Structure 1
Amino acid sequence: MTTDTQDLAPQDWAARFSARMAGIRASEIRELLKLLEQPDILSFAGGIPDPALFPAQAIREAYAEILADGAQAAQALQYTVSEGHGPLRRWIAERMTRDGMPCEPENVLLTAGSQQALDLLGKLFLDPGAPVVVARPTYLGALQAFNAYQPAYLDLPQGALDGDEAARAAVEARKPRLGYFVPDFANPTGVSLTLAQREALLDLADARDFPLVEDAAYRELRFGGEPIPSLLALDIARKGSIEAARVLFCGTLSKTLSPALRIGWICGPRAAIEKLVLLKQGGDLHVSTINQMVACRVVSEGYDQHLGRLRGAYGGQARAMLAALERHMPKSVSWISPEGGMFVWLTLPEGLDGKALLERALTDVRVAFVPGAPFFAEAPAANTLRLSYSLLPPDQIEEGVRRLAGLISAPR
């Protein structure tokens, strides 16, 4: 007996999805990345590293050397422990210790990029309705990772870390379950928390007894100003040991080495790391063994010199963008000057919508950027946008900013 499939009604999949799927939305940034395939688009959209800066030769040689050695090849192509490749965890622990965060390899869990780290942390800490305090605006990828666990977001009020007692009290009253922040060169704003603001954030977390997630994706990309201790470093100094700290540090090699290797990590007290290991086992067992071994070889020699090249390149591109904004943007537009990272945050005149401007920019002047509204957990500010300078050379940055400024200045 045969059945004409054209007569069968499609399954109602939406009715079968879990309640958590109601909060899951497509990333506007991931969609915008498709524009990079159009050669005539000048794109400030993707906050991704410049492929010209990847240590491709060193990565190629590391793969070849590992696979040419029988014993190493057998290890590299096999399953491994969920915690991650021991030598790489040791390198991370030594580097973090050097950066004021004394820890051991047992305090480190390797993850598939820091994005998986955020998902694991959401799974570990969040129940439906759990309040999560975040910066205003904040990293869209963190919101997407946490959304599956149905939290209730609380934008950190302006002034809460600058001595405004009423703003601080508003946060305390909500009894946050978790705090998430990017203290260094934040995505999307490029802003860094001052030392006083970091101390105030730790004070707040101590007062209400909630853990803090420190997303350090851009920490190594400082090209100006003076380094500031990480939240974890400050917390360890207060508590005397990482085992007594409340900060969980998320690091990554995606912005400095290569995104495709998918190497990130969580560093924190062993009591939290041990539970995160169990969650990772239920997810993907472990990060690619060969990728961990390759990354370990590449970072073990010349990594600081490589970082110097990155900082020089991104610093030059940032200066080119800031100079172009100063030359071309109307006075009604304001922006924040970063000292590291990959982003400049613009505030447009009231009434000008970033999403509507993007539609016009793509059609009229072939320039792409990311509208600011999706980066807000609460009450989006539509008259904002994010520009990334990481992919374009200075002459194209100049031209793209000139086109965009002309569009903003044009009568609507």
Structure 2
Amino acid sequence: MSASEIRELLKLIDRPEIISFAGGIPDPDFFPTAAIARAYEKVFQSNTGAGGALQYTISEGYGPLREWIAGYMARKGVRAGMDEILVTSGSQQALEFIGKLLIGPGDLVAVTKPTYLGALQAFSPYEPTYVSIAMDEDGPVLAELEEALAAKPKFLYLVPDFQNPNGTTVSLERRHAILEMCTAHGVPVVEDAAYAELRYEGEFLPSLAGIDAARNGGSPTQVIHCGSFSKTMVPALRVGWVAAPKAAVERMVLMKQAADLHVSTINQIVMHDIVGSIFDSHVKRLRGAYKERRDAMLQALADFAPEGVTWTRPQGGMFVWIELPEGMCGVTLLERAIREVNVAFVPGAAFFADRSGRNTIRLSFSATPPERIREGIRRLSTLVRDALPVAA
């Protein structure tokens, strides 16, 4: 186990002079605080409801919330029964449980290159050997995926929508190909859908779980789907879920009992109240606000970034991925950026299982107003330009 570069960088956000592109976090100005306050008030105004909300509950999760999640999944084409859904402490706990369930020392786990740092942290204590698959603009490169699957990894971990860290969305054609290949090799897919609702342009694509379900009478058999309310509603309530075949969920319920018994009862009740009343309208508001910030970052990069710097153009999510000229180091640039221009970001090497990608960085636009984004990109671009090697 090792410290998270991102968690350490979050400590910088409270410094007002720092323009932070570091944490992939929602803007607290957009939290539905009024709806949350009303939901808590309703709980405490009810003599019988308050007692239950402050009591232990079952490890599987609050029944009405699981029913809402089942309905939400049904809208995505996935028929998941109550015994196929477990409420977790954010989707991060779901990843940890999946690692505990499926990984033994030395087992192969297939991940993309780059991949979500939190997934690596969740899986690594179980001592896997990672096989990393390169990505292009449509997702994992199929030739490398085929080679990885031939080695029989325990599962493929994938963030198909607006990936953390590089913002890539797996194309529809590639999604079908990935599922066909994983099914043929008998390798499960762990789908992390944390950002799936945050699309700012283009058509929504079916989830891997939805495609899998369509092939199997409505219930996925090849995909373990992880969802979260942290990016769409509020992180601090710590409510996520995993939807998986019944046998897998039954094992993870035992893990939940051993880990923390259950997610906070009152938090689950409150989350059910707010998603039942404002989910669609609130997500629509987020899409408009975050699109403005994404556009501000892409425009600033177009205006200020020096030659030799390239970046992704995500259709949604929270991240833009930067590739610096060869020979530059993201860690070294971060040290200078904080010290000299008061800008923070995450060095890209943290997102590679093999710690490659030294000349990459991740920028998050979600928690920074457009004018601050433009100024931060201007400062960072000036620093990068100054650090470029002088041509002979």
TM-score (norm 1): 0.92
Could you say which residue in structure 2 is the equivalent of 1:204?
181
1:257 pairs with 223, 226, 233, which one? 233
Q: Distance in 1 between matches of 2:11 and 2:136?
A: 38
Task: Return the offset for 1:105.
Answer: 2.3
Q: Distance in 1 between matches of 2:225 and 2:215?
A: 16
Q: Distance in 1 between matches of 2:169 and 2:139?
A: 14
Task: Return the offset for 1:241.
Answer: 3.5
> Retained in 2: the 8 A contact 1:161–1:200?
no
Q: Does 1:240 align with 2:222?
A: no
Residue segments in structure 2 that go unaligned for 5+ positions in a row: none
Task: Return the offset for 1:175.
Answer: 1.2
Q: Distance in 1 between matches of 2:60 and 2:297?
A: 41
Task: Return the offset for 1:166.
Answer: 4.8
> Retained in 1: the 8 A contact 2:83–2:246?
yes
Q: Does 1:343 align with 2:319?
A: yes
Counterpart AA for 1:31: E
Could you say which residue in structure 2 is the equivalent of 1:121?
98
Counterpart AA for 2:191: E
User: May I ask how many residue pairs the two structures share in their alignment?
Assistant: 388
Q: Does 1:38 align with 2:15?
A: yes
Counterpart AA for 1:93: A
Could you say which residue in structure 1 is the equivalent of 2:115?
138
Q: Does 1:332 align with 2:293?
A: no
State which drifts further: 251-260 or 99-108. Answer: 99-108
Superposed CA deviations along residues 262-296 of structure 1, whole A, max 9, x for unmatched, are 00000121111111111111111100000000000
1:277 pairs with 237, 246, 253, which one? 253
TM-score (norm 2): 0.96
2:262 pairs with 286, 298, 305, which one? 286
Task: Return the offset for 1:100.
Answer: 1.5
Superposed CA deviations along residues 242-263 of structure 1, whole A, max 9, x for unmatched, are 2x51101100001111110000
Q: Does 1:386 align with 2:386?
A: no
The 5-angstrom pairing of residues 103-122 of structure 1 reads 103-122=80-99
Q: Distance in 2 between matches of 1:153 and 1:217?
A: 22
Note closer, same or farther for the CA distance 1:45–1:215 as it changes in structure 2 (3 Å cut): same
Q: Does 1:217 align with 2:204?
A: no
Note closer, same or farther for the CA distance 1:207–1:159 as it changes in structure 2 (3 Å cut): farther
Q: Does 1:360 align with 2:329?
A: no
> Retained in 1: the 8 A contact 2:318–2:364?
yes
Note closer, same or farther for the CA distance 1:392–1:161 as it changes in structure 2 (3 Å cut): closer
Q: Distance in 2 between matches of 1:254 and 1:162?
A: 24
Task: Return the offset for 1:378.
Answer: 2.1
Aligned residue for 2:190, secondary structure, equals strand
Q: Distance in 2 between matches of 1:165 and 1:369?
A: 31
Counterpart AA for 1:304: D
Aligned residue for 1:330, secondary structure, equals coil
Note closer, same or farther for the CA distance 1:411–1:273 as it changes in structure 2 (3 Å cut): closer
State which drifts further: 304-313 or 96-105. Answer: 96-105
Could you say which residue in structure 1 is the equivalent of 2:144?
167
Task: Return the offset for 1:159.
Answer: 6.9
Q: Percent identity?
A: 52
Q: Distance in 1 between matches of 2:73 and 2:277?
A: 17
Q: Does 1:323 align with 2:289?
A: no
Q: Distance in 2 between matches of 1:35 and 1:405?
A: 20
> Retained in 1: the 8 A contact 2:134–2:141?
no
Q: Distance in 1 between matches of 2:63 and 2:321?
A: 39
Note closer, same or farther for the CA distance 1:376–1:270 as it changes in structure 2 (3 Å cut): same
Note closer, same or farther for the CA distance 1:390–1:94 as it changes in structure 2 (3 Å cut): same
Q: Distance in 2 between matches of 1:183 and 1:406?
A: 33
> Retained in 2: the 8 A contact 1:161–1:201?
no
Could you say which residue in structure 2 is the equivalent of 1:58?
35
Note closer, same or farther for the CA distance 1:381–1:236 as it changes in structure 2 (3 Å cut): same
> Retained in 2: the 8 A contact 1:324–1:402?
yes
User: Runs of at least 4 residues of structure 1 off by over 6 A?
Assistant: 159-165
Note closer, same or farther for the CA distance 1:379–1:364 as it changes in structure 2 (3 Å cut): closer
Could you say which residue in structure 1 is the equivalent of 2:154?
177
Task: Return the offset for 1:160.
Answer: 12
Superposed CA deviations along residues 106-163 of structure 1, whole A, max 9, x for unmatched, are 2210000000000001001010111110111000000000011111101114579889
Q: Does 1:371 align with 2:347?
A: yes
Q: Distance in 2 between matches of 1:60 and 1:352?
A: 48
Superposed CA deviations along residues 184-234 of structure 1, whole A, max 9, x for unmatched, are 011001111001111121122112212111000000111111111000000
State which drifts further: 298-307 or 152-161. Answer: 152-161
Note closer, same or farther for the CA distance 1:52–1:402 as it changes in structure 2 (3 Å cut): same
State which drifts further: 386-395 or 164-173. Answer: 164-173
Could you say which residue in structure 2 is the equivalent of 1:20?
none
> Retained in 1: the 8 A contact 2:134–2:140?
no
| Bigger Rg, which one | 1
Could you say which residue in structure 2 is the equivalent of 1:47?
24
Could you say which residue in structure 1 is the equivalent of 2:285?
309
Superposed CA deviations along residues 69-121 of structure 1, whole A, max 9, x for unmatched, are 11100100000000000000001100110122122222210000000000001
Counterpart AA for 1:265: W
Q: Distance in 1 between matches of 2:268 and 2:123?
A: 26
Note closer, same or farther for the CA distance 1:185–1:275 as it changes in structure 2 (3 Å cut): same
Q: Distance in 2 between matches of 1:31 and 1:135?
A: 24
Superposed CA deviations along residues 281-331 of structure 1, whole A, max 9, x for unmatched, are 111110000000000011111210111100000001000000000000012
> Retained in 1: the 8 A contact 2:161–2:168?
yes
